[in-house]
Chains A and B, each alone.
Chain A
């Protein structure tokens, strides 16, 4: 039984995003991806943190957890580890994913937990009304950097590649079709997939629509998905800003790793002629 596109929207809650916000495009892209993959809404869990991106989980008619600032990834890790049957989508902003929650990224990558993580990057803290964020460019004037930001901005894609995230892609909310395709691929990818989405804020336009539109270009046709060195080079390139899938490799997911370890533990245990029952576990302590 297939689900209609509009059935993925939780209609009772109206988005709080400003008119023209890039996040509407991402929401549309995610709905299309879910529809294409025919994942039933009840089998999907969307987890988000705090900020404009945090509201993402409100608007999809799935199981949804809108938690605390920066903790979407570890929460999702718990969901997916205990329930591998669920499709888990994680959404964070640049502050959520790279500032307060930045410490969780490498560990989700190390575990290669089968999640799709969308980083909605608008280079600013929009919900709190325009403060500088980890991706605000150096020298940029914001509410908390009235004379220009004194810090460098983070290079998101090279970081993901260095952590060996098993699927790394970039797109923007200007390209809904490409974005839907990339999100679909990311969700299909078995393992930790991160999509960096440039999604400008219309109210605090640190990242401006117009300038962004002119700088975007698709990745070269001949780019190999397993060539990390080239992927890094292309990720560091700022003119143009490439979009597309930079890197995609297959390595065992956390679920597969745990399954394998547990099976070998069980085998060892039963080779000693023991049943894996709770009373026999207790007898180990007699």
Chain B
């Protein structure tokens, strides 16, 4: 085992899925399990899918526990817990033949050909016996699972107390009874232990268990955001919910508005007033917000927009994942409006890219759109707690230095440039500068009064439609984009895999982990692959992508949509030929699916054929 590969080969890699019907508590069972696992030395990664309705429909949660960094939700299951027949029928084929199935014998008929070992657990009966109803089924399951992975009962009881404490003693006692019933049932029936999670010492640095959406909310707070406006939309709502819960504690303010247009308007107003402001939404909401995004570009106010993408078009698949808002994010407005588009790759990355988004927005005074998706937004993963004593607040006039990508041990925060006393002598808000950025006066500053108008305007902000002025101001606005693109040269982006590999994979956003694992799987089969995953999709890190492309024989572009939006973008910018690997099923692409693509391409190389797949 070489150190370089250690991140992939691990001793413990356990994948659990709990499946049932919406309203049965499947998700909270999985979340509690994940939380318990996160308190050990293991890394945790969850993925969940639930129906758009409050009750009924298929719901499942998948938890992966590993002794090393986890990049994806994994492929086949080690353990499957099913609450009912449809859940079994839908998921049993994904269980390893060596895996373990836990099922309610009163609700589920086992398939005749099942190879995995099956453990009956009468969820409804046990729940009724100890709680008087079936609502405790999920906690019974949690108890039995705890036994199965040799988790200490006290650890689980502590979690149940934390979770239900606010609902009063009676609720806590009922749930504890259910938990103990499940644990005892497994013990009495001499269940095997399939994983050892007891007595594991806690990790060195502290780890939070966050969903991608929570990571964005916390990142925003760390970045100094103190205003958020939003309109509820699945699967983005938990960003705003987290902010409404935490903002009062840091003197921030969150407003739920009457629609997305109002939400983005309020955020523009707050930013104009001098606050760091954000909105959070999903595709259909971003579509409404585009009305105001070009106002933000035109009057040059910093603004951060988090778009947690879901399946489209129209109402589409509100609770499923897709990467299909890229075109909207980059191009979707009237006129030409510079904005930055970022794509976090994981829960952890959502936290740091959010800080970066605020830094970029403040530094360059334009909207920054962050594209995550349902699969990152709603899954939970362990995120290393940053060392906040190392935060460096950059003075607005020093902020002209490059904006570095924040890391746990190094976080820079940047505030917008404000005019100096000298600037105010003859204040021109939209003064043409070398990098296109001109100081913003904060309302309340005497002598800084200016007009911010969506009309084309002069350096002073006065309306002006003359040809020379429109050209000059368009140049000013787009100069910022050129400066940003150039700044990437000193901000190296990560490329993985052997430099001499003939096959390259380019992806964006949440597919990073699956591609990474596919690369390892390919290497096991002797196929070398290089993988590049830019965080910034607009403006493009041109030089780095060109350098990456120029050494390749074959390029595969992976994305979760139907038409290949990122591939179009790459082809348009670099004239590159690419084999496109799309998945448009509302669920994340798996390492195996990508591996299949890699193997096909490798086969083509063998045959010296250059035909498209």
Binding site for B on A (CB under 8 A): 10, 12-13, 40-43, 45, 47, 57-58, 61-68, 71, 74-83, 85-86, 103-104, 106-107, 111, 258, 261-262, 265-266, 269, 276, 278-279, 281-282, 285-286
Given A13-B463, A75-B269; A281-B246 close (CB under 8 Å) = yes
Given A58-B463, A63-B450, A285-B214; A278-B262 close (CB under 8 Å) = no
Q: Is the CB of A75 within 8 A of B443?
A: no
Chain A residues within 8 Å of B257, by CB: 74, 77, 107
Q: How far is the CB of A68 from chain B (nearest CB, A)?
A: 5
Given A13-B463, A278-B388, A285-B214; A71-B265 close (CB under 8 Å) = yes
> CA A66 – CA B295 in complex, angstroms?
10
Q: Is the CB of A77 within 8 A of B208?
A: no
Chain A residues within 8 Å of B448, by CB: 42, 63
User: Is B249 interfacial (CB-CB < 8 Å)?
Assistant: yes
Which 5 residue pairs of A and B lie closest in terms of their CB atoms, listed nearest first?
A78-B269, A78-B266, A74-B265, A262-B248, A74-B262
Q: Is the CB of B250 within 8 A of A83?
A: no
Residue from the list B208, B227, B249, B451 in contact with A66, Cβ < 8 A: B451
> CA A44 – CA B394 in complex, angstroms?
29
Q: Is the CB of A47 within 8 A of B269?
A: yes
> CA A65 – CA B453 in complex, angstroms?
6
Find the B residue at minimum CB distance from A258: B253
User: Is B101 interfacial (CB-CB < 8 Å)?
Assistant: no
Q: Is the CB of A285 within 8 A of B208?
A: yes
> CA A166 – CA B464 in complex, angstroms?
39
Residue from the list B39, B218, B451 in contact with A10, Cβ < 8 A: B451
Q: Is the CB of A81 within 8 A of B221?
A: no
Q: Is the CB of A82 within 8 A of B451?
A: no
Q: Is the CB of B266 within 8 A of A81?
A: yes
User: Is B268 interfacial (CB-CB < 8 Å)?
Assistant: yes
Q: Which of B218, B258, B277, B447 gathers most chain A CB within 10 Å?
A: B258
Find the A residue at minimum CB distance from B202: A286
Q: Is the CB of B463 within 8 A of A82?
A: no
Find the A residue at minimum CB distance from B214: A285
Q: How far is the CB of A77 from chain B (nearest CB, A)?
A: 5
Q: Which of B209, B226, B270, B455 gathers most chain A CB within 10 Å?
A: B270
> CA A185 – CA B462 in complex, angstroms?
31
In the complex, given contacts A66-B454, A67-B268, what are 6 additional A-B residue pairs having Cβ atoms less than 8 angstroms apart?
Answer: A67-B265, A67-B292, A75-B265, A104-B262, A262-B248, A286-B208
Q: Is the CB of B266 within 8 A of A65?
A: no
Q: Is the CB of A265 within 8 A of B214?
A: no
* 29 intermolecular pairs with C-beta atoms under 8 Å apart: A42-B445, A42-B448, A57-B451, A63-B441, A63-B448, A63-B449, A64-B450, A65-B269, A65-B452, A71-B261, A71-B292, A74-B265, A78-B255, A78-B273, A79-B270, A80-B269, A82-B273, A82-B274, A82-B275, A83-B270, A83-B444, A104-B258, A107-B262, A281-B246, A281-B249, A282-B385, A285-B214, A286-B39, A286-B209
> CA A40 – CA B455 in complex, angstroms?
26
Chain B residues within 8 Å of A62, by CB: 449
Find the B residue at minimum CB distance from A78: B269
Chain B residues within 8 Å of A65, by CB: 269, 272, 299, 451-453
> CA A106 – CA B262 in complex, angstroms?
12
Q: How far is the CB of A177 from chain B (nearest CB, A)?
A: 27
Find the A residue at minimum CB distance from B443: A63
Q: Is the CB of B206 within 8 A of A74?
A: no
> CA A61 – CA B447 in complex, angstroms?
10
Find the A residue at minimum CB distance from B261: A71
Given A78-B229, A78-B255, A107-B257; A85-B444 close (CB under 8 Å) = yes
Find the B residue at minimum CB distance from A280: B249
Q: Is the CB of A66 within 8 A of B446?
A: no
Residue from the list A77, A86, A279 in contact with B266, Cβ < 8 A: A77
Chain A residues within 8 Å of B58, by CB: none
> CA A13 – CA B453 in complex, angstroms?
13
Q: Is the CB of B262 within 8 A of A83?
A: no
Given A64-B451, A266-B248, A286-B208; A79-B272 close (CB under 8 Å) = yes
User: Is B460 interfacial (CB-CB < 8 Å)?
Assistant: yes
Q: How far is the CB of A32 from chain B (nearest CB, A)?
A: 19
Chain A residues within 8 Å of B267, by CB: 78
> CA A281 – CA B243 in complex, angstroms?
11
Interface residues of B in 267-316 (CB under 8 A from A): 267-275, 277, 291-292, 295, 299
Given A43-B444, A278-B388; A78-B453 close (CB under 8 Å) = no
Q: Is the CB of B292 within 8 A of A279?
A: no
User: Is B126 interfacial (CB-CB < 8 Å)?
Assistant: no
Q: Is the CB of A281 within 8 A of B443?
A: no
> CA A9 – CA B255 in complex, angstroms?
33
Residue from the list A42, A43, A58, A282 in contact with B451, Cβ < 8 A: A58
Chain B residues within 8 Å of A64, by CB: 449-453
Q: Is the CB of A66 within 8 A of B444?
A: no
User: Is B222 interfacial (CB-CB < 8 Å)?
Assistant: yes
Chain A residues within 8 Å of B241, by CB: none
Residue from the list B250, B263, B447, B460 in contact with A276, Cβ < 8 A: B250
User: Is B259 interfacial (CB-CB < 8 Å)?
Assistant: yes
Residue from the list A68, A80, A269 in contact with B292, Cβ < 8 A: A68
Chain B residues within 8 Å of A261, by CB: 248
Residue from the list B221, B249, B445 in contact with A269, Cβ < 8 A: B249
> CA A77 – CA B454 in complex, angstroms?
18
> CA A71 – CA B163 in complex, angstroms?
42
> CA A279 – CA B411 in complex, angstroms?
14
Chain A residues within 8 Å of B15, by CB: none
Given A13-B462, A78-B268, A83-B275; A66-B453 close (CB under 8 Å) = yes
Given A66-B455, A74-B262, A107-B262; A276-B249 close (CB under 8 Å) = yes
Q: How far is the CB of A266 from chain B (nearest CB, A)?
A: 6
Q: How far is the CB of A145 from chain B (nearest CB, A)?
A: 27
Q: How far is the CB of B422 from chain A (nearest CB, A)?
A: 18
Chain A residues within 8 Å of B444, by CB: 42-43, 83, 85-86
Q: Is the CB of B218 within 8 A of A285?
A: yes
Q: Is the CB of B452 within 8 A of A77?
A: no
User: Is B71 interfacial (CB-CB < 8 Å)?
Assistant: no
Given A64-B449, A285-B210, A285-B218; A77-B255 close (CB under 8 Å) = yes
Residue from the list B262, B273, B295, B385 in contact with A67, Cβ < 8 A: B295
Given A12-B462, A74-B266; A265-B218 close (CB under 8 Å) = no
